[in-house]
Amino acid sequence: MNCFLLFIPAVYPPPTAPAANMFGNVPGYEGIAAGGGGYLPPPMPLEPVAPPQPGPEQDNWSVPALSEDVASEAFKSYASSHCCYSSGPAEDGVITSMEPYNTFRYRLETYTESRSTELAHKPHEGEVADFYTQTAPQPWEIQVPVPSLFTNETKEIRVPYTSSIKVSGLRKQCWVCNGSGQKDAGNCTRCDASGKDRCTKCKSQGSTDCETCKGKRQLLTYIQLKVEWTNNVEDHVVEQNSGLVMDNLCSVSGKELFKNNHYLLYPLLGFPNPAISEASERLIREHQSKYAQTSRILQQRQTVELIPITKVNYKWKGNSHVYFVCGNEHQVSADYPATCCCVIL
Write the pLDDT tens digit of every residue in 86-130.
999 999 999 999 999 999 999 999 999 999 999 999 999 988 899
- pLDDT at position 32: 74
245 torsion bin: left (phi>0), alpha (psi -120 to 50), beta (else): beta
State whether the Cα torsion 126-132-135-141 is positive or negative: positive
211-253 per-position pLDDT tens digit: 777 777 889 999 999 999 999 999 999 988 899 988 889 899 9
pLDDT at 208 over 60: no
Q: Which of 143, 131, 175, 322 is nearest to 242 (CA)?
A: 322
Which percentage of the chain shows pLDDT scores above 70? 73
Q: Which residue has the higher pLDDT, 57 or 134?
A: 134
Give the dihedral sign, CA 273/277/283/287: positive
Q: What is the mean pLDDT of the chain?
A: 82
Question: 88: Cβ–Cβ under 8 A, 6 or more apart, which residues?
Answer: 316, 317, 338
State whether residue 141 is helix, strand or coil: helix
- Rounded Cα distance between 316 and 96, Å, is 10
Strand 186-187 and strand 5-7: pairing?
unpaired
Residue type, 259: K
For the residues 259-266, what does the mean pLDDT come to?
Answer: 92
- Range in 40-44, 289-293, 308-312, 333-337 the model is least confident about: 40-44
Whole-angstrom distance, CA of residue 93 vs CA of residue 89: 5
Read off the pLDDT of residues 129-159 as tens digits, 9 standing for 90 and up.
999 889 999 999 999 999 999 999 999 999 9
Question: Which of 44, 52, 59, 42 is CA-nearest to residue 262?
Answer: 52
User: Cis omega (within 30 of 0) on the bond before 14?
Assistant: yes
pLDDT tens digit sequence for 17-55:
445 456 657 777 776 755 555 677 787 665 556 666 666
Side-chain-facing half-sphere of 49: CA atoms under 13 Å: 9
Q: How far is it, in rounded angstroms, from Cα 130 to Cα 103? A: 60
Q: From residue 200, how far is each of 42, 189, 235 by CA, in Å?
A: 49, 17, 59
CA distances to 42, 229, 230, 231, 299 from 148, rounded to whole Å, are 20, 10, 11, 11, 11
Distance of alpha carbon 94 from alpha carbon 316, whole angstroms: 7
Nearest to 274, CA basis, from 104, 116, 90, 37: 104
